[in-house]
Amino acid sequence: MALLTFGWRTALLLFASIEMLVLAAALWQPLANRTANRILSCLLIVLVGVILPFAIGFAGFYDRFPWLSFAPFAVPLAIGPLLYSYAYSLAFAATPPRLALHLVPALAQFGYQAVIFPLPLSVKNHWDAIATPVLAPILMLALIASLAGYSIASLRILRLYRIALAQQRSDDDRLSARWLSRAVVALLLLLAISLAYAAWNAFIAPLDYFGVIGRYLAIAAIGCYLAIEGWRHADLRLAPIPVPSNDEPPAPSRDWRAQGAAWASQVRDANWQRDPELSLAALARMLGTNTAYLSRALNEGLGVSFSTFIAGLRCDDVAATLRSGSEIDLLRLALDAGFGSKASFNRSFRARFGLSPSAYRRAHASNPK
């Protein structure tokens, strides 16, 4: 009887699996972004299922318990649709249309394994010898197409979300879910790694069970990153983006540049930009107008998004303080101006003045105004 051996490969994959399962359970609880969090929870469980056969395989489970062959643990065709659904639900606070249809290939993959798994071992071995050489390349091509297509679609959804967010919120950097874009890019990198493995296996030298460990460690790392960042942002209300009001269509003859300048002066005088959670709708109410008028004054009149407009006013406040020779800590100045983090402040300040805040302070240290 084969012995079980728990080496470093099994230890790493099992540790990552446990972490993902714990956080998947935790993500089922928060009320904020409930739909998105539960989709992410399902995605993490699917990722655990993908690496589990290798985690136990490296330990010798399939040698010790050969009846485990075809156990329906791994359903990789579910990764793409769930990742896209998570991005969509963050952006729109709803599941994507026809989600069930997106999951049909994954359900078929699971059903195929579930049907064969309870068959006698001799039957399974015979079927494996006949079908796997034919089905494995088809499954690989389907997986590549699924991951590539859904990853690109996810990035497109996140890009549209950020464009809309910049028109509606002043704290768009905090709500932009850039961590999810990094995870999607990492998944595309994993796809490239998988293609490299497949090419090596097909054209250079066949890889044994241990030769593909790098691929599954990469899956585990991406899964842990998704789990940790998803949990960190579980209560952050990212969506939905309110639709601008069209109840009072802007008049084509209005001078939007003059109107934008007048409203900018009014906002600056009242220091409304210092509200770290200021939204387009809230500012429109303060100005006594509607979101359609305000958006047009900013976009067409001043040539900026709402987020850029508010960030610019905040940067102007900090710059004026720095020119006065103030020694107040930059983070304190950023927070007082309305920025949610030093990182977003640094990006906005450099974009407006072409210098970092610290460099701007040094440039004006000897000539306070």
pLDDT in tens, the chain (369 residues): 567 788 888 999 999 999 999 999 999 887 778 889 999 999 999 999 999 998 998 888 888 888 999 999 999 999 999 999 999 988 888 888 899 999 999 999 999 999 999 999 999 999 999 998 899 889 988 999 999 999 999 999 999 888 888 888 888 888 888 889 999 998 888 888 878 877 777 777 777 777 778 888 989 999 999 999 999 888 876 645 554 444 445 455 678 899 999 999 999 999 999 999 899 989 999 999 998 899 999 999 999 999 999 999 999 999 999 999 888 999 999 999 999 888 889 999 999 999 999 999 998 876 554
**Cα(320)–Cα(328) distance, rounded to whole angstroms?**
12
**Cα(275)–Cα(272) distance, rounded to whole angstroms?**
6
Do 113 and 52 form a contact (C-beta atoms < 8 A)? no
Please count the other Cβ atoms lying within 10 Å of the Cβ belonging to residue 197. 15
Residues 6+ apart with CB under 8 A from 172: 162, 165, 166, 307
CA distances from 233 to 37, 91, 169, 178 (A): 9, 14, 18, 11
Phi-psi region of 75 (alpha: psi -120 to 50; beta: other; left: phi over 0): beta
Helix axes 306-323, 121-166, angle to 10 degrees: 60
The pTM of the full predicted model, rounded to 2 decimals, is 0.83
Phi-psi region of 303 (alpha: psi -120 to 50; beta: other; left: phi over 0): left
